[in-house]
Amino acid sequence: MERRLIVIVVLPDCLSLDVVGPGEVFSSANHVFLSGGGHKDEKPYELVFASGTRDLSLTTGNGLSLCLSTSIFDIDEKIDTLIIGGFSHHHRWKQFPELNRWLMYAAPNIRRVCSICVGAFVLAESGLLKGKKATTHWRSCQELGRSYPDITVDSDRIYVRDGNLYTSAGASTGIDLALALVEEDHGRALALAVAQLLVLFLKRPGNQSQYSGLLEQQFCKRQPIREVQEWIIGNIKKNLTVDNMAEHISMSPRNFARVFLLETGLTPAKYVERLRVETSKRFLESTSLSLEKVAVECGFGSMDTMRKIYVRTIGSTPSEYRQFFGMPIL
């Protein structure tokens, strides 16, 4: 078995979970391999945490002091997968010019280049995401798009692959991405064993929606769209159409649809669908209502419709979602 060198780049004020989470996935893959009788010289991954600066002593955003053994600039071995972790203050992404230059030079010789959370800004500043699809933490998606208009930013997916470039959303989604990379390298069985060892859900698909706060981010401050958004929330059980939403704020359907898309980035139908999914998740997580009842209460009309929308938007059925995320009902 070929051993792949995984290098996780650590930056000042990094988010601990961005670097430690994916690292645990690859380390656990080695553990599972050795536990199954594999020889230590054939373990699938060699894992290195490397400073993205010349300073080997860094402090994470939560105050954890790190003493790293090497800098990215001192690694001579062939890197299979490079992962840029996020950091607490994303406005600092332009403060790593040496790393940006190194990335432009080294990236063509690296099989996979990845980012976690706002690490995508480092890839973008290096020019690697030009003309590519990418994602980042939902709070930073708009800024990524504004700062680098040649990137197609997908604010909904938890991770995006475009060629050999992989970008993921906030914090824990780096773990999802790492599991996907393990599965890509060594198959579902090993990835599943790693997920079980770490008590993880294998695996949230890349097209699963980011945190429901995305809807809060798109909650308009200006009337009248904010007014209709509030009305939608209060009437989620009803049959919501462009016509009756437009009528509620005395706009023509055509003008309403245009303004709503401009203000929220979503069509009215897509916004309602997403809100229904997020509302139904809360029912599935915290109540014992039947799936049929949840479907009706959230405006899907039928359990079959809800199931189809769940599979299409989050990659799992309502029953699977409840099984994993639902709280025990006492």
CA distances from 51 to 8, 85, 89 (A): 8, 11, 17
CATH number of the domain that 69 lies in?
3.40.50.880
Kindly tell me the burial class for residue 16, based on how many C-beta atoms sit within 10 Å of its own C-beta (0-12, 13-18, 19 or more). Answer: middle
Same domain, 168 and 249: no
pLDDT of 170-200, one tens digit each? 778 899 899 999 999 998 888 888 888 887 6
The residue count for the chain: 330
Q: Is residue 138 part of a domain?
A: yes
pLDDT tens, 36-84?
Answer: 766 667 789 999 999 999 999 999 988 899 999 999 999 999 999 999 9
Domain count, the chain: 2
**Of 197, 232, 259, at which residue does a domain stop?**
197
State how far the Cα of 24 lies from the Cα of 28, in Å rounded to an integer.
6
Closest CA to 232 of 298, 144, 310: 298
Q: Are 132 and 189 in a shared domain?
A: yes
In this prediction the pTM is 0.67
Name the phi and psi angles at 96, rounded to 5.
-125, 55
191 and 233, same domain (yes or no): no
Looking at the structure, do residues 158 and 291 belong to the same domain, yes or no? no
CB 267 within 8 A of CB 218: no
User: Interior CA angle at 42 toward 39 and 47, to 5°?
Assistant: 120
Q: What is the CATH number of the domain that holds 316?
A: 1.10.10.60
Ramachandran assignment for 199, one of left (phi > 0), alpha (psi -120 to 50 degrees), beta (any other): left
Residue 319 lies in domain: 213-325
Residue at 330 is within a domain: no
Name the residue with higher pLDDT: 326 or 160. Answer: 160
Same-domain check for residues 135 and 232? no
